[in-house]
Amino acid sequence: MRLRGRKGIRESLESQTDLVILNPEEYKGKWADLFGNGKPIHVEFGMGKGQFISQMSYRNQEVNYIGIDMYDELVRRASDKARIAWAEEEVETPPNLKLALANIENILDVFEQGEVERIYLNFSDPWPKSKHARRRLTHPRFLDKYKEVLNSQGQIHFKTDSETLFEFSLNSFADYGLQMTNISLNLHRDGLNEEHVMTEYEQKFMGKGMNIHRVEVLIGEDALKEYQEIRLKKYRYQEPTV
């Protein structure tokens, strides 16, 4: 994938030290200190143009967000989206958002064990050829890394338009022994689901009438315990009231 962007992209990123992190490895184990609060950290791997992570940071200000992409131009575009998202409140720099330039292959160099609470994988490259399966972000070799950086509340939220990738991912999660919940084969079946922030790709695919597949994967011990309690309560027999 090649991106043709404007000249001066690197200079633009270097001038945005309040928002953009070009050396994320230096913050391994220190992200909470960088944000300066004890709020949970949610990360989007492969943020694209940044619409999702920008809107999430604006809507959920009790959470710290980090958007990661490996392309300079996408990080630049995401920085524009982030500032626009917060402009309504006359805030120039989102206080709970950082945009980092990094390759997802190297996330163990970026995050310390248990430093992240939630990972978002939105419309990742499906790598449709079987010989490229190891490059899919839901392949077990990536799940090993996610499990390392996620804490006791750790979850993965995954969305895709690719039926093939979704099928592969469900099998990958199952083979890895992970608990899945809120599985949807058509997220917006009954119309636009206002609860979910959409990415640029999601809006595009929705416009074409394509189904959006989504699943939440529970990894952290406490997340699993809470899920089991909710599930037992949901299905537990209750005596009828007279």
125 is catalytic: yes
Q: Does the annotation list 62 as a binding residue?
A: no
* Contacts of 147 by beta carbon, 8 Å cutoff, 6+ apart: 154, 219
Question: Do 52 and 122 meet the contact criterion of CB atoms below 8 Å apart?
Answer: yes
| Closest CA relative to residue 64, chosen from 104, 91, 99 | 99
Q: Does the annotation list 115 as a binding residue?
A: no
Q: Does the annotation list 222 as a binding residue?
A: no
Q: Does the annotation list 69 as a binding residue?
A: yes
Structure tokens belonging to residue 194? 């206002």
Q: Does the annotation list 229 as a binding residue?
A: no
Q: Does the annotation list 200 as a binding residue?
A: yes
Q: Measured on CA atoms in the order 57, 10, 26, 75, is the torsion positive or negative?
A: positive
The 116-122 sheet, strands edge to edge: 20-21, 97-101, 64-69, 41-45, 116-122, 150-160, 213-218, 179-184
Rounded to the nearest angstrom, the gap between the alpha carbon of residue 47 and the centroid of all alpha carbons in its chain is 7
Q: Does the annotation list 201 as a binding residue?
A: yes
Cα→Cα distances 81→11, 73, 78, 121, 174, Å: 18, 13, 5, 19, 36
Q: Does the annotation list 125 as a binding residue?
A: yes
Q: Does the annotation list 14 as a binding residue?
A: no
Of the listed 80, 109, 125, 175, which one is catalytic? 125
CA dist., res. 41 & res. 147, Å (int): 15
| Closest CA relative to residue 55, chosen from 19, 82, 20 | 82
Q: Does the annotation list 235 as a binding residue?
A: no
Annotated binding-site positions for S-adenosyl-L-methionine: 44, 69, 103, 125
- Which residues are known binding-site members? 44, 69, 103, 125, 129, 161, 199-202
| Residues classed as catalytic | 125
**Which residues are annotated binding-site positions for substrate?**
129, 161, 199-202
